[in-house]
Amino acid sequence: MSQVELLDLSKSYDKQKDILKEINLSIEKGEFFVLVGPSGSGKSTLLRMIAGLEEISGGFLKMNNEPVNHLPPKDRNLSMVFQNYALYPHLTVEQNILFGLKARKVNKQEQQKRLKEAAEMVGLTEMLKRKPKELSGGQRQRVALARSIVSQAPLCLMDEPLSNLDAKLRANMRIQIRRLQKKLGLTTIYVTHDQVEAMTMGDRIMVLNDGKIQQVGEPITLYNEPANLFVASFIGSPKMNMGTAIFASKAKKLTIENDLSISVDPAIAQGLPKDKTLTIGIRAEHLLPGTTENATHYLEVVNVEQLGNETTIAFDVGTELWTAKWPGQWNIQVGQKVPIHLSSDYLLFFDTETGNLIRSATHGKSQGGIAI
């Protein structure tokens, strides 16, 4: 049974602009569900509507199969972790964690039991008497998490809780939050604009843009089979390389950005519109290094980034900037022409007018832990 269900949920202000348009969604019990999208897409508004902090303009919100449109936040049996932590500066860590329990008049013995458990879980046992100003950003975030844990609410809403942390701490907190969620069996709805967070944390992801659902699915499905150009360009780091292309039926060749020409496998060509402008995409890891035997093109390097474990190389392809991501350390210089191997097996094809996916890549997916 779905724990949270959204039926034609809409939000507008002054009955003029639709912020969210007919959102239909089911979130299962124990699921870590991520809402991702650019700033202004409506994801935080949707989370606040689930919390009861924003009025629902249209449609129905159900929790455990019961309509809750009319219920105030305190009666929805949920907890929320905010972007700015929302800690009281004059209270200690212990008092901040227990604030909600005291407001609900939970007995003191139970408060202390929950405090001890939560503090041990998030590593705050030695800091309970400190004030927020004495804590680092990561420690403050853990206080906010502990406050959510002690509430023992089955549904936890998180609104970009890691955006104020540095990269190293953010990576660590991602692991900690996911571990806690699994341990406690919480249903979690997590809002972020960071697609890396979405990919690494979510059981499922919903990509939102301009108030509309673009795609809902498992992270790897969105990566391999994006429903449209927006999802393809939003999910993945670095973002997918894109370009316009025409498949000439007579020559049986695909020309990309009026610059690169490649042969197309007959099985792939069979399903493609002929002599019509398409948009193709290819992931950075599938723009492969070429050899003297298999190089399809020689491209001039415009930028190189050495990351130690891998090297990213940028090329101009027509009017587009394409990035290749190759394992290991490559001694390549800007201005150098390097061989690449470009195969139609790794291309995704999109309708240029609608942006919708026509065909996903034949290769490049994983099966049984082995890339194919």
For the record, the structure tokens of 310 come out as 């891998």
* Bridge partner list, 303: 314
Query: Do 166 and 265 have their domain in common?
Result: no
| Residue that terminates a domain, selected from 178, 194, 229 | 229
Q: Note down pLDDT in tens along the chain; length 372 residues.
A: 579 999 999 999 876 678 899 999 999 999 999 999 998 899 999 999 999 999 999 999 999 999 999 999 989 999 999 888 889 999 999 999 999 898 888 999 999 999 998 898 888 999 999 999 999 888 898 899 899 999 989 999 999 988 877 888 888 888 888 988 998 899 999 999 998 899 999 999 999 999 999 999 999 999 999 999 999 999 998 999 999 999 887 767 899 999 899 988 888 888 888 888 999 999 999 999 999 899 999 999 999 999 999 999 999 999 999 999 999 999 999 999 999 999 999 999 999 999 999 999 987 664 444 444
Are the C-beta atoms of residues 239 and 336 closer than 8 Å to each other?
Answer: no
For the record, the structure tokens of 12 come out as 């507008």
pLDDT of residue 169: 81
What's the rounded Cα separation, in Å, for the pair 72 and 100? 16
Query: Do 196 and 298 have their domain in common?
Result: no
pLDDT of residue 372: 41
CA angle 353, 355, 361 (to 5 degrees): 125
pLDDT tens per residue across span 298-344? 999 999 999 999 999 999 999 999 999 999 999 999 999 999 999 99
Whole domain around residue 300: which residue ranges?
238-371
Query: Do 40 and 118 have their domain in common?
Result: yes
What is the Cβ-side half-sphere exposure of residue 140, based on CA atoms within 13 angstroms? 21
For the record, the structure tokens of 174 come out as 């991602």
pLDDT of residue 1: 53
Give the CATH number, domain containing residue 48.
Answer: 3.40.50.300
Residues 6+ apart with CB under 8 A from 44: 159, 160, 191
pLDDT tens per residue across span 95-119? 999 998 988 889 999 999 999 988 9
Alpha carbon of residue 234 to chain centroid: 9
| Residue that terminates a domain, selected from 229, 247, 276 | 229
Query: Do 141 and 85 have their domain in common?
Result: yes
pLDDT of residue 371: 47
Query: Do 267 and 304 have their domain in common?
Result: yes
Query: Do 261 and 206 have their domain in common?
Result: no
pLDDT of residue 18: 82
Q: How many domains does the chain have?
A: 2
pLDDT of residue 369: 42
Query: Do 288 and 318 have their domain in common?
Result: yes
Query: Do 265 and 215 have their domain in common?
Result: no
What's the rounded Cα separation, in Å, for the pair 172 and 178? 10
pLDDT of residue 270: 84
Query: Do 131 and 108 have their domain in common?
Result: yes
Taking the whole predicted model, whether its pTM rises above 0.85 is answered as: yes
Query: Do 303 and 203 have their domain in common?
Result: no
Query: Do 209 and 250 have their domain in common?
Result: no
Query: Do 172 and 263 have their domain in common?
Result: no
**Amino acid sitting at position 334:** V
CA angle 307, 313, 319 (to 5 degrees): 145
Are the C-beta atoms of residues 309 and 327 closer than 8 Å to each other?
Answer: yes
pLDDT of residue 268: 86
What's the rounded Cα separation, in Å, for the pair 332 and 336? 7
| Residue that terminates a domain, selected from 207, 229, 251 | 229
**Among candidate residues 208, 209, 99, the one with its CA nearest the CA of residue 144:** 99
